[in-house]
Every structure is written in structure tokens, then in C-alpha cells.
Amino acid sequence: MAAAGKTLHVINGSNGTKKRGSIKKMTLTAMLAAIAVILMYMEIPVPFMPGFIKLDISDLPALFGSFIYGPACGVLICLVKNVLHSFATNTMFVGEISNFILGCAFVVPAGVIYQKRSDKTGAVIASITGTVAMALLSIVSNYFLVYPIYYNFMPKDMILKAYQAIFPGVHSILQALIVFNVPFTLLKGVICVVLAWLLYVPLAPMMRIKD
């Protein structure tokens, strides 16, 4: 009976620990998602980009979520921030779809790499890898998915002219994506890499949360 009581106590203790861990995970994920939503509203225009493309660093909280709890957490934060942001924009969900796709391209490889090397160097390597993946995918996702949806609201020629007003040397949407969107996406990722490096030490205790 004593052994059975001890076993029951261990099981109950284990369940309690898991429950506390789940609550901690949900709370922290919700906090990061809320920060991501706020940062997404703090978007700014970029001089060398058409006016319909703006810069924000809302992927940074998703990156840290991916570091702490794995890529699935980062994807969830990307999803939540874009769903909430879509209610207050006039992009007809197109901007949010693009942001979600590229955000996932950023945080998933970063999260996978960080799970294998959970230190400051690993965080930087993971962030850089995610940045490159995001920049490369930006060509494919914009050309084959996002911009074709945009064409229903803004003619293709008008979008191209917006790019040509900045640099007349581009003669197609694909060229525009390579010349403009890839550097823009790299810039966005580099900003997140630098901030991840600067914030790693103060946020390091959270990086050890795995339960």
C-alpha cells in the first residue's frame, strides 16, 4: 500500500508538472503573439520599395518562440499575429498570407537549427539560415501565389510601374522581385538577426524553458 501510495504521488506530481508546463507554454506563447501583433502594426515605409510594401520586425517574437518551444510555436505565433492583423487592414488578406508564408520560412529552419545548438552562436546561425530561406522563398511565393492574388485588385502593369518608378531597369515582375524584394527581405531578416543577438543574453533564461 505504501508503494502504491508513493507511485500515485509520483504520477500526480508528474501530471502537475506537465500541467504547469503547459500553462507556462500557453502563457508565454500568447505574450509573444501579442508582442508580434503590436510590432506588426508598427510597420514603416522603406524608401527603395513601392508604397504597398512596408517593413516590420514582427517575426522577432515568433523567432524567439521557435527557439524556446520549437518551430511549431513559431508558426503558431506567425498565424495568430496575421489573423489578428487582417481585421484592421485593407490588403484583402494578401499581405497577411505573404507575411505568414515568409515568417514560417524564417522561424521553422531557425527553430530546427537552434534545437540542435542551443546557445548564442546557434541562435545567430539559426537566424541567418532562416533569413536566407525567407529571402529565397520570397521570390517563389510572391511570383506564383501572392502577386497573382494581388492582380485581382491591382493590375499587373500598375504593380510593375510602381517598381519602375524607383528603378526603370526592371522589365518584369520576376526581375522586380529579385532586385527589390530579395534585398528587402534580407534586410528584414538581418535586423531580426541583430536584435536576436543583442537580446539573447537577457532572454537566455527563457531559452532554457522546455517543459
Secondary structure element (H or E) that encloses residue 45, with its range: strand 44-45
Q: Which of 202, 170, 196 is nearest to 183 (CA)?
A: 170
- The pLDDT value recorded for residue 63 is 97
Gap between the Cα atoms of 30 and 25, Å rounded = 8
C-alpha cell read off for 43: 510597420
Extract the C-alpha cell encoding 40: 506588426
pLDDT score for 204: 79
pLDDT recorded at residue 170:
96
Q: State how far the Cα of 183 lies from the Cα of 32, in Å rounded to an integer.
A: 27
Buried b (16+ CB within 10 A) or exposed e, 154-179: eeeeebbebbeeeeeebeebeebbeb
Q: In the prediction, which pLDDT does 52 show?
A: 80
- Parallel, antiparallel or unpaired: strands 54-55 and 44-45: antiparallel
List residues bridging with 45 in a β-sheet. 54
Q: Which of 83, 82, 70, 53 is nearest to 111 (CA)?
A: 70
Give me the helices (H) in the chain, please.
2-41, 59-69, 71-86, 94-116, 120-141, 147-150, 156-164, 173-176, 182-207
Res 94: pLDDT? 87
pLDDT of residue 8: 46
Give the burial class of 40: count Cβ atoms within 10 A of its Cβ; 0-12 exposed, 13-18 middle, 19 or more buried. Answer: buried
Which segments of the chain have a pLDDT < 50? 8, 10, 211
Q: Are 50 and 163 in contact (CB under 8 A)?
A: yes
The predicted pLDDT at position 68 comes to: 93
